Structure formats: C-alpha cells, structure tokens
Amino acid sequence: MKKQLLFVAAIAAGMCATAQDYVKVDAAGLGVGGDEAVALAAGTEVGRTESFIMRTAFDDTYKVQDVKANDCNLWVFDGTEITTDNGFQGQTNPKDANGDNPAIQTPPTAPVSGAVIEIEALKDGYVYVWGKLSSHKNYMVSENNQPMGYQLVMQTATLGKLDITVKGSDEYNYVYEPIAWPEVIFTGNPESAVKENGMGVIKFPVFTGCKYLVNATGSKITAGGAWFDAEGDVNIGIKSTETGVSYALYGAGVGIQNAEVANVVAEEFFTVAGQKASAAATGIVLVKKTFADGSVKTVKVIR
C-alpha cells in the first residue's frame, strides 16, 4: 500500500525552504550526440538528486534533441531558468507484453519496452517531467507497473494551452480505461484531433520507494528533465530570450497567453548548514528567491 504524502518543510538559516530539486537531461554527457542514435541500456542513470533518480527504463537507442518549441527556448521553474538544449529522444515506440500500444488497451497496461523514462522516488512529493509534447499522442504514467492518472499541460501554437487531467477510478488514482490523445480529452471530440507540438510538463504524485514509468505511445517521448517539489505548487512558465514572449503553464497567470512569468527580484545563497554563501558557491547550495509579488521560495541547486 502506498504511503500518504508527507510534506516536510526543511529549515535553513531560520527560514522555511520548500524541498525542490531537479535533473536536466545531459545527452552529451550520456554519450548521445550527432546524427547517429546511440544505444543506452535499461537502467542508464540520467541523473539523481536527494529526492529521485531518473533513468532509462528499457534498452533503446537515443538521439540528442532540443526541446524548444513555438519560439520559446527557456523553462522557468519557480524563477529558475533552464535551457531547452541537450534533451533526448528514444527511437522505439513503447509496447506492452503483447507487443501492443499499452495506452489504448482495456485496461491500459504498463510498457515493457521502448523509449520510456523511469523515476525512482526517494521522497514523497510531486514530479514534473518536462519536454516537447504532442497533442496527438497518448501519454502514460505507471506506478510500479500500474497505469495511473496525471496532469499534462502544454503550450501549442494554434490551440493555445492544453491543460488536461487523466483521472484514475480508485483511491490510488489507477487508470482502467483507455487513454485518449490529450486534445481529444481536452475537447471531447475525436474529430478535432490535429498534430500540435509544444513545450509541456507531465505532473504526478510520487511515493518513497515506488518506481514510475513515463512515456508516449505511438511515438517516443522527448524529455528535457524532471523537477521534484514536495508540495506540488510550482510556478512553471516558458519564455523566449529573443522576443520576451512568455506563457504560464502552472501558477500565477495560468490560462492566459503571454502571461508574465513572475520575476525574481532578489536572491540569497546558503549552505545546507544554513550559513550565508556567495553567488559563486559550489556543491549543494540553497538559493532563496524573492519574487516581484513578494512571495519567497528556496530551491536546492547542485553545482
């Protein structure tokens, strides 16, 4: 049985610090680059934090992939800007044990092969897997090989923002009905389905000791990384360094195109022991961010 979510505030330098950390895909560091696909074995570690480990779930070949879209080239997670370069994409569509698309079965089944991301939770909280998503492909999240519900938010060029939730039908949010394409879930009309790509995130709760599979079906997920937050209330936006255009996916301004992503007006740096540090400090650094609206959050950064 899954544990109940525990939300524990970390204390540093006399302030409450929201437990956050992230892994950014470093395709070059994994040996993936150029035009040729490179084989990565099941269990290849993409990165780890104190909160989770990100791996490849199964054997597959991967190519380096920029995850920018619709003129935006930066992610903004609670004021932390992350570039979209150097993500990766597997080359094999995920299949279930019968060689079928696992999302459209009744009930859906977890994939056993193909381009699938694995998240191993080391803490209770929420994970946001970010990347270039498509409105005309099914997405899945499975907990210990049981398909579960999730929230998908993505920004597209013509449809605007798609914000959809796949709901499970029991107390564990497990899914027993086929999973439709995001825009079909969003509109309720299969005839409306068109191909739209965009930067987006897939959000789901995680529990210590559980393993989660994240994947597209009928396609290959293009992943840029994953962000962990203990409370699941991260402000997430995307923006362009060239045009200044920004879109809010989560948090203030959600649903409003060209919404301003909350600006960071001040930053302070601390060691994990709570001592004041310089902006150039390396290792594990706590960054206290003060936003223009007066809100404050602290992010753990590994440099």
pLDDT at 34: 77
What is the rounded average pLDDT of the residues 243-268? 63
pLDDT above 70 covers what percent of the chain? Answer: 84
pLDDT-based confidence at 265, cuts 50/70/90?
A: confident
Domain boundaries along the sequence of the chain = 10-302
Distance (Å, rounded) from C-alpha 19 to C-alpha 24?
17
Greater model confidence, 280 or 23: 23
Lowest mean pLDDT among 54-63, 183-192, 204-213, 240-249: 183-192
Lowest mean pLDDT among 81-90, 101-110, 178-187: 178-187
Q: Is the pLDDT of residue 104 over 90?
A: yes
Q: Is the pLDDT of residue 17 over 50?
A: no
Q: What is the mean pLDDT of the chain?
A: 84
Q: Is the pLDDT of residue 262 over 80?
A: no
pLDDT at 118: 98
Greater model confidence, 271 or 127: 127
pLDDT-based confidence at 2, cuts 50/70/90?
A: low
Q: Is the pLDDT of residue 11 over 60?
A: no
pLDDT at 12: 26
